[in-house]
Amino acid sequence: MTYDRLVCGNCAAPVSEGRCPVCRANRERLQQGGPLAGLNPAALLALLVVLVAAVALLAV
């Protein structure tokens, strides 16, 4: 999930702006997600289909 659409429950501002300490902490936590954290679900599904197809080709 990306933080650009999240709204902080503490200050009611977008988390991406980082107006309060809670926003900044959550923004940092979300940015440390990992290499696949920025992909949307459709891209992850496409990647999974490609990996399954590659494994199927190797098994034959």
pLDDT higher than threshold 80 for residue 31? no
Verdict on whether the full-model pTM lies above 0.85: no
- Residue 2: band (very low, low, confident or very high) from pLDDT cuts 50, 70, 90: low
CA–CA dist 60, 28 (Å, integer): 45
- Residue 3: band (very low, low, confident or very high) from pLDDT cuts 50, 70, 90: low
pLDDT higher than threshold 90 for residue 57? yes
Given a contact cutoff of 8 angstroms between Cβ atoms, the answer to whether 13 and 20 are in contact is yes
b/e per residue 44-54 (b: at least 16 CB within 10 A): eeeeeeeeeee
pLDDT higher than threshold 80 for residue 34? no
